[in-house]
Amino acid sequence: MYYFGVILFKSLAFVLAILPRPIFLFLGAGLGFVLRKLNFRSHIIDGNLDIAFPEMSAEEKVQLKEKNYRHYGILFLEILRSFYRFDIFLDKYCDLEGEENVRAALASGKGSFVMTAHLGNWEALTALGARELGVPVNMVTKQLKPAWLHRLVETERSLLRIKMAFEPRTMPTIMRALKKGELVGFVMDQFAGAPVGARVPFFGKPVGSHVALATLALRMNVPVVPAIAIRKPDGRYKVRFEPQIPLVDSGDKGMDIIQNTANYVAHTERWIRDYPEQWLWIHRRWKGDLSPLAPNSVGEMLK
């Protein structure tokens, strides 16, 4: 099955790679239109928009939803296109900003964490970062299913100097990467329950968020650089590395983990508010206990 997948994915990617960009974007928008007509996870998008933007009118939500589906269609084709000479795509359609921010973080010799979100095209972010910086990127992720797909994705990413850190070897991979002065990427916009999550505010609702990044940043005193890849109106991508997020280290380990996690999640919220049409609203981000936090609390660990 693996070799059949290689032939299929690379053949489709080749066809997509030779298409002029306007036609590519048109086809992606068409795919998004089909997804919208099929109501693909429509009820999840509606529920998430109601939570995140209660002040938004019904008409505004419909318009945002349409743009969001268009984004999914284009993103799907771009991810599929990445299986053939993705370096050509990076050269043609991606512009790098803020390279000095991540180089300053790497200057410490401890490696660096890169915090991102499922916003825009995260595959373009990791691939361009690894290539332009000349430093491998280790993405903390889950093992994909089926196994042949995981093998295919892992192989293709390795050609772009992207490594995958997943269970049961997540921590050894992270520690080895930092020791070599490499980059380790975390996404901070997914739900996480007990015992690895903390309830911190996200669009005004305390929701379970992963504490691994804050825990490791504190333990190892490694800088955290936020980064995103946003599609511009002309179809090109702005890949932006931003200044380091200051690490809160008061000496109270438990509270510091919660505070830093809250800061990271707040940063992703600002991104999403700036580019709401390019976020993964189909993800069930708000789950579990959404009741208010105690007065003056920045969050609480899930147990």
User: Exposed, middle or buried, 104 (CB in 10 Å: 0-12/13-18/19+)?
Assistant: middle
**Counted domains in the chain:** 1
- Give residue 18's pLDDT: 97
- Give residue 117's pLDDT: 98
Is the predicted pLDDT of residue 144 greater than 90, yes or no?
no
Is the predicted pLDDT of residue 1 greater than 90, yes or no?
no
- Give residue 107's pLDDT: 94
Is the predicted pLDDT of residue 169 greater than 90, yes or no?
no
- Give residue 185's pLDDT: 97
Q: What's the chain's average pLDDT?
A: 96
- Give residue 2's pLDDT: 87
What is the mean pLDDT of the segment spanning 134-162? 92
- Prior bond of 276 cis (ω within 30°): no
| Inter-CA distances, 21 with 24, 26, 28, 71, Å | 5, 9, 10, 15
Is the predicted pLDDT of residue 168 greater than 90, yes or no?
no
Band of the pLDDT at 3, cuts 50, 70, 90? confident
Q: Which residues of 30-49 are buried (b: 16+ CB within 10 A; e: fewer)?
A: ebbeebbeeeebeeebeebb
Angle separating helix axes 21-37 and 58-81, nearest 10 degrees? 130
What is the mean pLDDT of the segment spanning 154-167? 91
Q: pLDDT tens-digit profile of 29-73?
A: 999 999 999 999 999 999 999 999 999 999 999 999 999 999 999
- Would you state the structure tokens that stand for residue 73, as one six-digit string? 């269609």
Q: pLDDT tens-digit profile of 256-271?
A: 999 999 999 999 999 9
- Give residue 43's pLDDT: 97
Of 273, 275, 266, whose CA–CA distance to 246 is shortest? 266
Q: Which domain holds residue 43?
A: 2-301
Of the two residues 142 and 67, the one the predictor is more confident about is: 67
pTM of the model: 0.95
